Amino acid sequence: MISKLHYITQGKTPEEHLENIQKACASGAEWVQLRLKNLDPKTVLETAQKAREITSHFQTRLIINDYYKVAKEVNADGVHLGKTDTCPLKAREYLGKWYSIGGTANTLEDCKILLEKKVDYIGLGPFQFTETKKNLSPVLGAVGYQVILEALNTTTPIIAIGGITIENVPEIINTGVYGVAVSGAITQNFNSISTFHKILKAPSNNEQVYKLGDNK
């Protein structure tokens, strides 16, 4: 089962990533993606092992960004592959059917390619400008999601990514996307996780009454 809320880790050091995972899990996160960049393989493995210990304690699903072999070694729940990372088919062959495999997409064509490669979910974005991605791809906005989802007509979960805040969620979910991946907004306020969950699990976001004070 793919969670509707994905927390993507942030941190200037591996230790900060782990501290943030601890805080996210303690605040009710159900799905955490460990996203480490520009580190040596040994550090990535050691950090992933510690992340697995934390998430296992809280029964939180752990996804490893990019490093699919590390995902298997630490017995994570899956891997998320960027557009320049390993092919999902290669990762699937290595991991087997029990691991969740997600892929990043920026366009309708990207989505079609990932669907052909049988990913379990697609991270589609960016919704709006994000420092993490440096705006390498055109922002989609709510209209962009709606257009792509109508064209795809797929049951594969589409997760909106890119600069998403609590205020954006009702609008995004109403386009038909399955859920959202959030990094900065949660790292700045881990208490917001419960509010994200409430909005995402509401029967109808059109009728959702949302107050900005709910996440404080």
Q: Tell me the pTM.
A: 0.91
Residues with Cβ within 8 Å of residue 26, at least 6 apart in sequence: 58, 190
Among 160, 166, 159, residue whose Cα is nearest residue 185: 166
Confidence label for 206 from pLDDT (cuts 50, 70 and 90): very low
Q: What is the mean pLDDT of residues 49-67?
A: 98
Distance from C-alpha of 145 to C-alpha of 134, rounded to nearest angstrom: 20
CA dihedral (185, 179, 181, 19) in degrees, to 10, reads: 70
Element (H, E) at 179: strand 179-182
Distance from C-alpha of 161 to C-alpha of 138, rounded to nearest angstrom: 13
Residue 204 has pLDDT above 60, yes or no: no
CB neighbours (10 Å) of residue 93? 9
Alpha helices by DSSP H, the chain: 14-26, 41-58, 68-73, 88-95, 108-116, 141-152, 169-173, 184-188, 192-200
Confidence label for 131 from pLDDT (cuts 50, 70 and 90): low
CB neighbours (10 Å) of residue 216? 9
CA angle 122, 127, 129 (to 5 degrees): 125
CB neighbours (10 Å) of residue 150? 11
The per-residue pLDDT for range 93-119, each reduced to its tens digit, is: 999 999 999 999 999 999 999 999 999
The two counts, helices (H) then strands (E), for the chain are 9, 8
Long-range contacts of 17-22 (CB under 8 A, 24+ apart): 17/47, 17/51, 18/47, 18/50, 18/51, 18/54, 20/187, 20/190, 21/51, 21/54, 21/55, 22/54
Q: What is the mean pLDDT of residues 179-207?
A: 86
Distance from C-alpha of 28 to C-alpha of 48, rounded to nearest angstrom: 20
Residue 216 has pLDDT above 70, yes or no: no
Confidence label for 209 from pLDDT (cuts 50, 70 and 90): very low
* Average pLDDT in the chain: 92
Partners of 179 in beta bridges = 159
